[in-house]
Amino acid sequence: MTSHQQPLPAPPAQPAAPQPLSEAAFRELYRRLRDPNPDGDEERRGALDRLTPERVVAAAAEVRCGRTVSLAAPVETRPGPDSPEPATHRMTAPTHRESAEPGLTFARDRFAMNVHGDVDSHLDALCHVIFDGELYGGVPSSTVTPDGAGALTLDLVRDGIVGRGVLLDIPRLRGVPWLEPGAQVTTEDLVAAETAQRTTVGPGDLLFVRVGHRLRRRDLGPWDVTRARAGLHPTAMGFLAERHVSVLGSDGNSDAAPSAVAGVAFPVHVLAVNAMGLHLLDYLDFEELAEVCEEQGRWHFLCVVAPLRLPAATGSPVNPIAVL
């Protein structure tokens, strides 16, 4: 090193890995976070009840420049280590003969997908997670049949989800491009990200937590996320309960792998959907949004989520839109 060169600053110290939870400790956390009014009403909207008309109006006031940003990734149609059953898209018309005929014809296609896969952006309905034989609010799991779900279905969000979105960027906080698979986001991370980004998560907000999953996948290629992925530590769900958020979304699926809880593979899903009545948005893409938020110096925005009208479904592909 020459005399005029300055040493590079040391990277931020990485937090110690949070401790795993025993199944007994997890069940106690589940008991504490469970919606205190599980009356079994099959038409309850869970945490979406916090999205009052007044909060929707206030969220609309977040729009400053009118820029829109998609939070969805392009649908994948090629198999990979994280997508053994990719979506299928095929053309059904025109045929070669129709293409050559004079007059009118139409191009047509057909699309099919595994809604709850590990690549495509999707929304989890409140009937998606069964725990101890029950859905959210104590609704019996028997309401989910081979013909479709009969309660707490995607139909609860047929009018869409509109509210104030807040993006907390955990890799930005830690000074890294992404969290490595297996890393877990803690309550302390969420609070520190609020402070660093000069924003606050409040009642009715749609909370989006970036772990950098999409950027890592883009730069290094796909991997088997069933074995290793970054996500929230289960205890971080206490932060969401205290702030009374309405929706949780991530560029992963919110759950870390390996699981922090022995015997429970998806503890955050259990706590969010089954205990707290939170709709989850999985495998979103925050890369463009993070850049725009950085440019504008604010990390909150109007967010509009419009699932498909699939009345008996447990989820839907989705394209959330941030409006800044």
**What pLDDT is recorded for position 18?**
84
**C-alpha separations of 116 from 59, 113, 125 in Å:** 29, 9, 11
Cβ 70 vs Cβ 284: under 8 Å: no
- pLDDT band at residue 4 using 50, 70 and 90 as cut-offs: very low
Of 252, 276, 260, give the one whose Cα is nearest residue 186: 260
Which of 49-63, 86-100, 131-145, 291-305 is predicted with the least confidence, judged by mean pLDDT? 86-100
Give the tens place of pLDDT for each residue, 199-257: 999 999 999 999 999 999 999 999 999 999 999 999 999 999 999 999 999 999 999 99
Mean pLDDT, the chain, whole residue set: 93
**What pLDDT is recorded for position 6?**
47
Please say if the pLDDT value at position 286 is more than 60.
yes
Please say if the pLDDT value at position 192 is more than 60.
yes
Q: Where are the beta strands (DSSP E) in the chain?
A: 68-70, 88-93, 108-112, 122-124, 144-145, 148-149, 161-169, 184-185, 206-210, 231-232, 247-250, 279-282, 300-305, 315-317, 321-323
Please say if the pLDDT value at position 70 is more than 50.
yes
Which runs of consecutive H residues, i.e. helices, occur in the chain?
A: 23-33, 53-60, 96-100, 170-174, 187-197, 213-220, 237-243, 267-269, 287-296
Please say if the pLDDT value at position 10 is more than 70.
no
- pLDDT band at residue 13 using 50, 70 and 90 as cut-offs: low
Please say if the pLDDT value at position 308 is more than 50.
yes
Query: How far is 190 from 239, CA to CA, in rounded Å?
Result: 8
- pLDDT band at residue 276 using 50, 70 and 90 as cut-offs: very high
Which of 100-109, 127-136, 234-243, 247-256 is predicted with the least confidence, judged by mean pLDDT? 100-109
**What pLDDT is recorded for position 58?**
97
Of the two residues 309 and 13, the one the predictor is more confident about is 309
Query: How far is 149 from 203, CA to CA, in rounded Å?
Result: 29
**What pLDDT is recorded for position 7?**
47
Give the tens place of pLDDT for each residue, 20-62: 999 999 999 999 999 776 554 545 799 999 999 999 999 999 9
pTM value?
A: 0.92
Per-residue pLDDT, averaged over 71-84, amounts to 96
Residue 318 makes CB contacts below 8 A (sequence gap 6+) with 72, 121, 122, 123, 281, 305, 306, 307
Please say if the pLDDT value at position 196 is more than 80.
yes
Query: How far is 154 from 308, CA to CA, in rounded Å?
Result: 8
**What pLDDT is recorded for position 12?**
55
Share of the chain above pLDDT 70, in %: 93
Task: Write b or e for each residue in 245-263: b if 16 or more Cβ atoms lie within 10 A of its Cβ, otherwise e.
Answer: bbbbbbbbbbbbbebbbee
Per-residue pLDDT, averaged over 8-18, amounts to 59
Share of the chain above pLDDT 90, in %: 88
Query: How far is 69 from 63, CA to CA, in rounded Å?
Result: 12
